[in-house]
Structure 1
Amino acid sequence: MAVKVRIPSPLQKLTKNQSEVTVNGKNIRELFLDLEKQYPGIKNRLYDESGNLRRFINIYINEEDIRFLKNEDSEVKDGDSVSIIPAIAGGGCVILYRRADLQI
């Protein structure tokens, strides 16, 4: 199955600056094997040392989170769109106090 995969900016240097690539496979696992075959090194950015998808990487098939489907065994079909979305964290912790709490 030919499927378009959207590549996030931090990984585009591995896909020759392409924001979208076409790969083949019946499920996410096969798509990512083909993605690694076409763009060596991308697998290390998606998987940890144990071979599991990194926790901060979110994968969507047509806007459906694969964690609510069959994870890497989630099937794809021709024309589907897969998005790789890195989780974004940041900012700071803000603690709010009531004015009455601050009086000594």
Structure 2
Amino acid sequence: MAVEVRIPTILRQYTGGAKTVEGDGATLSALIDDLETRHPGLRERLLDDGALRKFVNVYLNDEDVRFLDGPGTAVSDGDAVTVLPAVAGGSGAATRPGR
């Protein structure tokens, strides 16, 4: 089973610069384990004690896996997984009066 995984720029150092990689697994967690065999260091950037890291968003075919089964979410041949770093707000300077 081949699942396409889209890698954000910040994690491409673990994929040799590749924007997309392929992996196998019946669940997201198994897919990440499979990716780790070819791209060491990737798992620890995505998972913490088996759960998704707080500042990492993962989408399966455009659905946030946090609203599915998280790392236990089933994946199938032909699925697309997108990894995105979470983005937090700025200083708020643009919304303060007088700015």
Does the TM-score normalized on the shorter chain lie above 0.5? yes
TM-score, normalization by structure 1:
0.84
Give the CA RMSD over aligned residues.
1.7
Instruction: Please give the secondary structure, in 2, of the residue aligned with 1:58.
Output: strand
Offset at 1:44? 1.7
Taking the aligned partners of 1:73 and 1:16, their CA distance within structure 2 comes to: 27
Could you tell me which residue of structure 2 aligns to residue 101 of structure 1?
none
Question: What 5-or-longer segments of structure 2 have no aligned partner?
Answer: none
Aligned partner of 1:29 in structure 2 is 29
Aligned residue in 1 for 2:6: 6
> Paired residue for 1:16?
16
1:61-72 pair list within 5 angstroms: 61-72=60-71
| Matches of 2:90 and 2:54, distance apart in 1 | 19
Larger Rg over CA atoms: 1
For structure 1, list consecutive stretches of 5 or more residues without a partner in the other structure: 99-104
- CA deviations 1:35-88 (Å, max 9, x no partner) are 11110111121123x343211101100000011111111111111000011101
Aligned residue identity for 1:36: E
Note the 1:20-59 alignment, pairs <5 A.
Answer: 20-48=20-48, 50-59=49-58
Deviation beyond 3 Å, 4+ runs, structure 1: 94-98
Partner Cα distance (1:76, 1:82) in 2:
9
Work out the CA distance in 1 between the residues paired with 2:43 and 2:62. Answer: 22
State the SS of the aligned residue for 1:36: helix
How far apart are the structure 2 equivalents of 1:44 and 1:66? 18
Normalised TM-score (structure 2): 0.88
Q: Percent identity?
A: 43
Q: Take 1:51 and 1:27, find their aligned partners in 2: how far apart are those partners? A: 12
